[in-house]
Amino acid sequence: MIRNDSTLMDHEIIALTEQKIRNLEIEKTLKDKLISRQQIISIFLASGVIMLALFSFYIYSSLRTIKRNNKLIALQSLRKDMNPHFIFNSLNSINQFISQNDERAANKYLFSFSGLMRNVLENSSSDFITLDKEMDMITKYLELEHHRFDDKFEFSIKTENIMDSEHTLIPNMIIQPHLENAIWHGLRYKNTPGHLFIVISEKENQIIVNINDDGIGRYASQKSKTSHQKDYKSKGTNNVSERIRLLNDLYHLNISFETIDMDDPTGTMVNIIFPSDIVSKIKA
């Protein structure tokens, strides 16, 4: 009986053990299925995250491209907006020479004007031109204005420590509006001949343009202007400021300018600063 009892207990233990093993196998199967499902879900989630990241990157890149293109269009529009007033004034001067029966002066002025406009139009699609070309353009411009206003002012252009003006790039048509302001809003109102000095120098990886005139000054000039003239000056200054902002934003430059009013003698000083390594920055 004891032996039978012992055998019975062994069978029960074996049965319980087998049952536990079956339960463990079932539990393992369930866990494997659960893990498999979790892996599938994880794969789907990871794929979704990757797809979302790719889509977000595509949207970001598209928006960035659109913004950049919009800035380029705005920059081009502002650049083209610089020419009409200058052309209008020049044609008025030619008309004045013709009305005075001064054919020789009109022909000479028209020849110089056509040469300058050829240069302006050739570079009108470029954000940057070489310092050499810019100096040539502003020299021709000042010669035209000097001829137009006769003995109202004298001018000089000097360079200091310029390493390579043929390959150094600066923004197109940034200097000329300041020269126009100096002549039209300062020097031409003087009772005696004035002076306009332009010094372009290179220092510590910067191109510094200093424009100095001994005109009547901005305050006195503002008092003598018509509302139309005040409006034009504001637009011209705003145009330059906006173009500099866009150039700095698009090409990661650090272009700046400041206008200083002088009292003794009267006049205005403008300092424009460009980085001298624009070539490497716009190619990066």
Query: Do 209 and 91 belong to one domain?
Result: yes
Q: Copy the structure tokens of residue 280.
A: 């490497």
Give, for 47, the enclosing helix (H) or strand (E).
helix 2-80
Query: Do 127 and 56 belong to one domain?
Result: no
pLDDT of residue 170: 92
pLDDT of residue 135: 92
Given a cut of 70, whether residue 33 has pLDDT beyond it is: yes
Averaged pLDDT score across all residues of the chain: 81
Given a cut of 90, whether residue 190 has pLDDT beyond it is: no
Query: Do 13 and 108 belong to one domain?
Result: no
Mean pLDDT of the 186-215 span:
92
Q: How confident is the model at residue 87 (pLDDT cuts 50, 70, 90)?
A: confident
- High-pLDDT (> 90) share of the chain, %: 22
Asked which of 36, 62, 79 is the last residue of a domain, the reply is 79
pLDDT of residue 81: 65
Q: The CATH number of the domain where 155 resides is what?
A: 3.30.565.10
Query: Do 106 and 58 belong to one domain?
Result: no
Residue 99 structural domain: 81-283
Q: Which residue has the higher pLDDT, 70 or 272?
A: 272
pLDDT of residue 188: 86
Nearest Cα to Cα of residue 155 among 179, 133, 119, 136:
179
pLDDT of residue 100: 76
Query: Do 27 and 128 belong to one domain?
Result: no
> In this structure, are residues 270 and 259 in contact, taking their beta carbons and an 8 Å threshold?
yes
Q: Please give the tally of structural domains in the chain.
A: 2
Taking only the tens place, the pLDDT of each residue in 107-166 is 888 888 888 888 877 877 788 999 999 999 899 889 888 888 877 899 999 999 888 888
pTM across the whole model: 0.73
Structure-token match 């100095």, residue found = 212
Exposed/middle/buried for residue 245 (C-beta within 10 Å: 0-12, 13-18, 19+): middle
Given a cut of 80, whether residue 91 has pLDDT beyond it is: no
> In this structure, are residues 187 and 194 in contact, taking their beta carbons and an 8 Å threshold?
yes
- High-pLDDT (> 70) share of the chain, %: 83
Query: Do 75 and 144 belong to one domain?
Result: no
Asked which of 79, 96, 126 is the last residue of a domain, the reply is 79
